[in-house]
């Protein structure tokens, strides 16, 4: 368990009466070494249980086969899935992932960026925190010659590679679906508006209402209702209004939608007959609630893969590449919680 010395290429060289450079060449198989020495070196390396020191190798070569990832929370399904997708691809390419969570704190986000810069990672992949203040730390990444990909929650004013969901369109589709189902007064649960994704979802909601000539009613749009608890509180308030909504679009998350559902149950409001509910994210549980919840799938694992592929395929070249924005189309998953017409439709 002690800090004993590890075997280096010098140890191998000494044992074989070779020079360290020959050993190095033999180990990095692309160079010119005689087959005999290569074999000898490999054999001895195995015997001495040699492991390369990546620190030295990376320092010498000036780059690190490592990618840094910063997310608000590692253990939220969406982010965990994206990371799993990322890991899948980066692993294939022999890259490692260093993971940081900002805990929705701007300070921690900045600190994490600095650590990753210090580590000389090849690329930083980030989804910004909820109390995002300004993008100077992100600009700094670029200034240090490190690649940058933003995903999901991105800084609008900074031109970098981005992989995002088409939040506005998905929202529009969800609200249009509600309207088609015959809901008349559709409320919106909003997330923090300093995050662009939540702004876009709100925009989609408004666009859908306008498209169908529905009035946009400020009293039906509840700010900052992005957890289960806040969703529940908002719902109680909404359902106690003189003219309550007959549908609620929890644009922030399925957790928020779950809060809506629980309050509806407690208040004896029938779902979907008297209240339609639509969530966002396609969390596993939306399939098994009673009724199951209509929601929007973000293809999170694929998103991770897309991000990684972007790096390996489009950002590797030395020439200046114009930042590209990849827009992933989320998918509306219609379930029971919004199927007001289901009885009518199933009868001939």
Rule CB under 8 A: which residues touch a copy of itself?
1-4, 6, 49, 51-56, 58-59, 62, 64, 66, 73-75, 77, 80-81, 83-84, 87-88, 91, 96-101, 103, 108, 114-115, 117-120, 140, 142-145, 147, 258, 262, 283-285, 288-290, 301, 318, 320-321
For the CB of residue 247, give the shortest distance to DNA in the complex, in Å.
Answer: 58
Pick from DNA, a copy of itself, none: which does 221 bind, CB < 5 to 8 A by kind?
none
Token pair, residue 253, equals 């998350």
* Cα distance between residue 142 and residue 138, in whole Å: 7
Pick from a copy of itself, DNA, none: which does 334 bind, CB < 5 to 8 A by kind?
none
Pick from a copy of itself, DNA, none: which does 25 bind, CB < 5 to 8 A by kind?
DNA
* Cα distance between residue 249 and residue 14, in whole Å: 71
**Residue 121 dihedral angles phi and psi, to the nearest 5°:** -65, 155
Pick from DNA, a copy of itself, none: which does 36 bind, CB < 5 to 8 A by kind?
DNA
Specify the DSSP class assigned to residue 310. Answer: I
For the CB of residue 118, give the shortest distance to a copy of itself in the complex, in Å.
Answer: 4
Which residue's CB is nearer to a copy of itself, number 108 or number 199? Answer: 108
For the CB of residue 103, give the shortest distance to a copy of itself in the complex, in Å.
Answer: 8
Pick from a copy of itself, DNA, none: which does 309 bind, CB < 5 to 8 A by kind?
none
Cβ 131 vs Cβ 106: under 8 Å: yes
Element (H, E) at 68: strand 66-71
Q: How many CB atoms lie within 10 A of CB 108?
A: 16
* Cα distance between residue 109 and residue 240, in whole Å: 40
Question: By CB neighbour count within 10 A (0-12 exposed, 13-18 middle, 19+ buried), where does 157 fall?
Answer: exposed
For the CB of residue 102, give the shortest distance to DNA in the complex, in Å.
Answer: 25
């Amino acid at each position: 368990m002690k800090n004993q010395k590890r075997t280096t290429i010098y140890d191998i060289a000494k044992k074989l009466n070779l020079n360290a450079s020959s050993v190095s060449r033999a180990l990095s198989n692309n160079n010119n070494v005689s087959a005999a020495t290569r074999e000898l070196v490999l054999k001895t390396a195995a015997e001495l249980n040699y492991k390369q020191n990546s620190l030295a190798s990376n320092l010498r070569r000036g780059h690190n086969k490592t990618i840094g990832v910063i997310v608000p929370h590692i253990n939220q399904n969406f982010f965990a899935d994206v990371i799993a997708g990322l890991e899948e691809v980066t692993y294939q390419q022999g890259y490692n992932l260093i993971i940081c969570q900002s805990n929705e704190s701007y300070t921690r986000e900045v600190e994490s960026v600095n650590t990753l810069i210090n580590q000389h990672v090849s690329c930083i992949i980030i989804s910004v925190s909820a109390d995002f203040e300004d993008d100077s730390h992100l600009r700094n990444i670029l200034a240090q010659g490190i690649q940058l990909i933003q995903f999901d929650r991105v800084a609008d004013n900074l031109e970098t590679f981005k992989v995002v969901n088409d939040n506005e369109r998905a929202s529009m589709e969800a609200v249009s679906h509600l309207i088609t189902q015959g809901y008349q007064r559709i409320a919106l649960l909003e997330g923090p508006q300093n995050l662009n994704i939540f702004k876009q979802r709100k925009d989609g909601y408004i666009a859908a209402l306008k498209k169908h000539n529905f009035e946009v009613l400020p009293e039906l749009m509840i700010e900052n209702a992005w957890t289960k608890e806040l969703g529940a509180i908002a719902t109680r308030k909404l359902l106690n209004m003189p003219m309550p909504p007959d549908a609620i679009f929890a644009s922030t998350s399925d957790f928020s939608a779950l809060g809506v559902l629980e309050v509806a149950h407690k208040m004896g409001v029938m779902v979907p007959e008297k209240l339609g509910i639509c969530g966002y994210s396609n969390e596993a549980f939306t399939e098994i609630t009673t009724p199951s919840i209509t929601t929007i799938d973000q293809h999170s694992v694929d998103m991770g893969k897309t991000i990684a592929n972007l790096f390996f395929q489009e950002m590797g070249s030395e020439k200046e590449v114009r930042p590209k924005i990849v827009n992933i189309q989320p998918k509306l998953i219609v379930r029971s919680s919004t199927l007001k017409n289901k009885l009518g439709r199933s009868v001939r």
